[in-house]
Structure 1
Amino acid sequence: KPTLEQHLAKHSGEKPYMCGECGYRTADRSTLSRHMRTHTGEKPYTCDQCDYSAAWRGNLAAHLAAKHTGEKPYMCGECGHRTTTKSDLSRHLRTHTGEKPYRCDQCDFAAALKVNMDRHLAAKHSGEKPYMCVECGYRATQKAHLSRHMRTHTGEKPYKCDQCDYSATQKSTLDRHQRKHTGEKP
């Protein structure tokens, strides 16, 4: 009977279980227990072959498939790229469709991946710049931007032209240089 009542709650829309941390509501207690792991950091599912642990059983299954069995059952019909999970394939397909389901509510920016939207929000709208250069105090929103900046101090030029001895600190600068060889005028 309790299982039937739990099932019927899904149809009624009733969600009596609520998270005290964020207000998330659900129809059953077990879903709320799983949700709470997003706040507690609890990761009860552990890999018996390495030190990986996960909050969700599905994440452990994906880890096992990706890291230990090598199985990649999901294949892109467009380019043949293979993935371990259906959700990874869905994300990959956006590279072909150009779909960008994550839209910024503060500007026109849109992203294909949630991680890129999160990065955009932190960089453009939060005002936070957590990465700081110890040499001059320059602050950056992303670690990659700080790494690029550090080359101004080290003099490192990792982007090398394959047609002459030119090298650059940034890929975009090398791309601009290479147009001299190709004659391309964008």
Structure 2
Amino acid sequence: MDDLSTVQPGDETSSSETLDTGRQQNNGEKNNEGNIVYQERCGLESDHPPAEGRTKQTDRSAVKCIVDKRFACTECGYRAARKADLIKHIRKHTGEKPYKCDQCDYSAAWKGNFDKHMAKHNGEIPFMCDKCGYRTDNSSHLFSHMRTHTDMKPYKCDHCEYSTARKRSLELHLTRHTGEKPLMCGECGYRTADRSSLTKHMKTHTGEKPYKCDLCDYSAAKKSNLDQHMTNHTGEKPYMCGECGYGTADRTSLTKHMRTHTGAKPYKCDQCDFSASCKFSLDRHMAKHTGEKPFMCGECGYRTADRSNLSRHMSRHTGVKPYKCDQCNYSATRKSYLNQHLVKHS
């Protein structure tokens, strides 16, 4: 019964002795390597001795249960069947990130995340949607994207009628019911439930714009903004409304547009009867109830409840005019100004 020796490496006792020893020891016993080996047994424990009719098959079942998840984390209740899995888990507690990018400062705790990051440097975008041409370096992102074509929304809120295609979107939505905003900006006190939102917000203080256009001087704090900007050069509008032929380069813009046909207003205020077709409209409305103005200018202290208002305000300090006319040298701080200008050419 060689499989029994795996319970305690280096133990030369017989299988029955090993099992009996396991019954007497605490579940958190350490092996020779210093790893916690769980001596968990199947079924209910009893103060009475085992029945004489115990069979080898029963012993094998008990040993299998012992061996299944014998490595335990001392910080939380996580257990693993393999030592390698425990080592990966421990990095959540230690913050260790052994996988380091040789082209930038990025580092990762897990190789899978590191491989996804390297694809950004290599330009590899292997996963493509056969419906609209959307591409990504992450297979799970493609899977989530495909639901936008099927209208499948398996994640449902148990407090209201909200449903979504992505689990993370549901988690963020639930914070509207709980009011939880654990992440805070150290510069201005802005709070959010979403780590990526905080990261984006911090760039309003630093002025960092890492996403740069390779065809002009435009740069952006968000990749989605750069993607939208690039369509100014290509003229591409892959997302089209089947009702009226409206086309756009932005998937979210199409989603919002479709609500003009359906009349859907999924964003509802929990303090009054207000509802909105767009999230930012609800956010602006909620500020009327709370008086909160989380977005602050680091130059002059101007505060607003609307992120886009802050972006427009910041252009007064920076002089940046990202909206450029492709027919003359005119540029503007706001897209609406550019649209008004383009009328002159038409």
Q: Normalising by structure 1, report the TM-score.
A: 0.61
2:94 maps to which of 35, 40, 49: 40
Contact 2:69 2:79 in 1 (8 A): yes
CA distance in 1, matches of 2:121, 2:307: 38
Corresponding residue of 2:113: 59
Could you list the per-position Cα deviations for residues 107-157 of structure 1 after superposition, in whole angstroms to 9, with x for gaps in the alignment?
A: 44332223322221222224548637xxxx8337x87xx6418949x999x
Corresponding residue of 2:154: 101
2:306 maps to which of 135, 139, 148: 148
CA distance in 2, matches of 1:125, 1:75: 37
Q: Normalising by structure 2, report the TM-score.
A: 0.36
RMSD in angstroms over aligned alpha carbons?
Answer: 3.7
State how 1:35-184 maps to structure 2 within 5 Å.
35-65=89-119, 67-128=120-181, 131=190, 138-139=291-292, 147-148=305-306, 151=309, 160=336
| Residues 128 and 30 (structure 1), Cα distance of their counterparts in 2 relative to 1, 3 Å cut | same
**Distance apart, 1:20 and its partner CA:** 3.4
Corresponding residue of 1:180: none
**Distance apart, 1:24 and its partner CA:** 2.3
Q: Which has the higher contact order (CA 8 A, sep 6+)?
A: 1
Runs of 4+ in 1 over 6 A off after TM superposition: 161-165
Q: State the percentage of identical aligned residues.
A: 41
SS at match of 1:20: coil
CA distance in 2, matches of 1:25, 1:61: 26
Residue 306 of structure 2 aligns with an amino acid whose one-letter code is R
What are the ranges of 5 or more consecutive residues in structure 1 without an aligned counterpart? 7-11, 166-186
Larger of the two Rg values belongs to structure: 2
SS at match of 2:125: coil
Corresponding residue of 1:178: none
Contact 2:292 2:305 in 1 (8 A): no
Corresponding residue of 1:23: 77
